Amino acid sequence: MGYATMIENRSAIQPSSRDAVQLHLSVTPLLQHLRFVALLFLAIFVVTKSPADTPLPPPEFATQASIDFRFVAESDPKTNETIVYRQNRGPDREVLWKFPRWFRAFRLSNEGDALIAETDYLNLLPSSIANDSYPLLTFIVRGKVIREITIKQLLGSRSNLQPTASHLLWGRGLYGIDRNGFAFVDTVVGFFIFDARTGKCVFPPNNDIDPL
């Protein structure tokens, strides 16, 4: 996902991400489940990036539904607000929670309680803002920020960003959140899985973000 590209191929699997998944998995039931879901997400959602940098589109109304469509999040740049609704039958919708900020790209958990937003620059960062403390992912639960994951936490260092024609690439970014609340993120240094409700990194099992 990113403004530098059009989606060209949803079936290709990036070898580095696939190999990282296979290399770090243990035999515990949880990790076996994460392996299956991670490979499924890679098979469905990995996209091919264009080498050309293109300008960001202007801020626009964004919406994202949960997997089963029971909940929907709407983010409006005019009000600078994101609202999560329960999709009741009939014309009326129930507001679950609000957050006072517009997001360009985000994903909503299947229970509607957790939302993860990417940086508004998506997968390509201007060099002027790309420092170690810059947040790439923001975890929000029922209207409260519970964690931000920075460049240093996710990539180890700003130096791991990959230069493009005019920006710095941090990865393909956030693919989505599965039915169990696991969020899948692809970066230039590897593939990660987070718990959407806590912001904790659960894969690879031995990682520097949340070491055991």
pLDDT tens figures, 113-170:
999 999 999 999 999 999 999 999 999 999 999 999 999 999 999 999 999 999 999 9
Task: Enumerate the domain spans of the chain.
Answer: 55-203
Predicted TM-score (pTM) of this structure: 0.77
Tens digits of per-residue pLDDT, 90-119?
678 899 999 999 999 999 999 999 999 999
Would you tell me how many other CB atoms lie within 10 Å of the CB of residue 77?
15
Helix (H) or strand (E) holding 74: strand 71-76
From 25-34, 43-52, 143-152, 201-210, the region with the lowest mean pLDDT: 43-52
β-strand pairing of 135-141 with 114-118: antiparallel
Q: Is the dihedral of CA 118, 25, 67, 16 positive or negative?
A: positive
pLDDT at 37: 52
Closest C-alpha to 64, from 124, 8, 14, 104: 104
